[in-house]
Structure 1
Amino acid sequence: MRAEDLLPDHLDQGQFNGTTVRKGTVGAFLINARVLTDAGARDEQRQQAEQDIVEALPALKALGLFEILQVRDEALRRLCEGR
């Protein structure tokens, strides 16, 4: 399956397991994860990245992301698991 098969260019979001997921959610998670795990990131950047990750968790879980991929960073993994 290709990205355009899942969400064609003319659509910005889709329903997955009863949750609305915007196009770009997984990409944004990856960028925020990099910021959150970057020791050189400013506190404001890290706080915003954490907030954005928490807000995206329902969509990421609806996609089944964490059923397939394991987060290696322990603190990020705990955040994604809700601990």
Structure 2
Amino acid sequence: MRAEDVLPDQQNQGQFNGVTVRKGTVGAFLANARLWLDEASGDAERAVAERDMLDALPALHALGLFDIVQVRDAALHELVLPSAR
């Protein structure tokens, strides 16, 4: 399967398990995770990245991302996959 099979070029979002997911959600999450994990990032940058990652969680769970991909960093894992969720 190719990216355009999931969301055609002219389509910017889709419904997955009842959740609207925008094109680019997974890529944005990865970019934010890298920034959040980077020790050179400032507190304000990390706070924005954290908020954006948390906002994306319903879409990422609807896609089943964490059923396939394991978050190896313990702090990031606890942020995005705490046992209470």
Match of 1:81 in 2: 81
The answer to whether structure 1 residue 37 and structure 2 residue 37 are counterparts is yes
- Normalization by structure 2: what TM-score? 0.95
In percent, how many aligned pairs have the same letter? 63
- Pairing of 1:24-63 with structure 2 (within 5 A): 24-63=24-63
Q: TM-score, normalised by structure 1?
A: 0.97
CA distance, structure 2, for counterparts of residue 24 and residue 82 of structure 1: 24
Give aligned pairs, total: 83
How far residue 50 of structure 1 moved from its aligned partner, in angstroms, is: 0.1
Cα distance in 2 for residues equivalent to 1:76 and 1:27: 16
Task: State the Cα distance separating 1:82 from its structure 2 match.
Answer: 3.5
CA RMSD of aligned residues (A): 0.8
Structure 2 gap ranges (5+): none
Cα separation, 2, equivalents of 1:14 and 1:53: 19
Specify the alignment match of 2:69 in structure 1: 69
- Unpaired runs of 5+ in structure 1? none
CA shift, 1:46, in A, is: 0.2
Match of 1:15, SS state, is strand
Work out the CA distance in 2 between the residues paired with 1:14 and 1:82. Answer: 27
* Cα offset, 1:77, TM superposition: 0.5
